[in-house]
Amino acid sequence: MSGWMGRLLVLSLFAAAMAYVESAVVVYLRQVYGITDLLQDVPTQPDPLIPVELGREIATLVMLGTVGALTGRTPAARWGFFLYVWGLWDVLYYVWLRVFIGWPASLLEWDLLFLIPLPWWGPVWAPVLAAAMMMAVGARMAWRSEQGFVLRIDRVAWLLGALGAVLALYTVLAPSLNALPGGLEAVAQARPTTFPAWLYLIGWGMVTVAGWRISKGISAFSRLPEASHPG
């Protein structure tokens, strides 16, 4: 399976298997801590297992990045495959949890999304929407790059991507950021009450436009210098 589609299929199988492992770990953690409702049952004090969990999250990203790097044939394609497998892994993670424990009951359920550098809180639909964008943009980046297109980040993409990412990240980090002046114990106790969906969607839209703009690329032939003519 050396073709683009064949490698994408193998990468998808990896994402499905890795999502199974990740969701299984979460099932075990829920059993250990007696968690049925994340908002109520997640520990409200700094926990000794937090460093281990942080390491697991970092290791997960390293694994996804490694398999993306091994799959792509160009630097841009490697980044594209990384984004694709990350997005698909995230979606299938929720699918497996639904199979194992019947959670989430809906996309409106609150989830503790990430712990680096502070806890991220958001409804399930938020990471799923981000994951769908990563899959689409990543697959397009990989395909266009391996077709010979040159992918570059222009000023518009930089501006849209950076500002959109800040807006989206703020929405999921807001509870932790607001509690941060009170110390780590206050951060551990912080819980969301509302989610600024409109702000998240604006940020998501800006990042999506930036990613699609980057993944379009330009033909390599259009970058060749014009032949000089004697004057």
Is 227 within a domain? Answer: no
Residue at 224 is within a domain: no
231 has pLDDT over 60: no
Note the pLDDT of residue 48.
Answer: 81
- Total structural domains in the chain? 1
Mean pLDDT (the chain, rounded)? 90
What pLDDT does 108 receive? 95
pTM of the model: 0.90
| Long-range contacts of residues 6-12, Cβ cutoff 8 Å, at least 24 apart | 7/71, 7/81, 8/81, 8/84, 8/139, 8/142, 10/71, 11/67, 11/68, 11/71, 11/81, 11/84, 11/85, 11/88, 12/85, 12/88
Alpha-helix residue ranges (DSSP H) falling in the chain: 4-33, 38-41, 50-71, 75-101, 125-146, 155-179, 184-189, 197-216
pLDDT in tens, 31-46: 988 988 888 888 887 7
Confidence at residue 230, expressed as pLDDT on a 0 to 100 scale: 43
Predicted confidence (pLDDT) at residue 181 exceeds the cutoff of 70: yes
Specify if 82 maps to a domain. Answer: yes
Residue 77 lies in a domain: yes
Whether the predicted pLDDT of 198 surpasses 90: yes
- The pLDDT value given to residue 142: 94
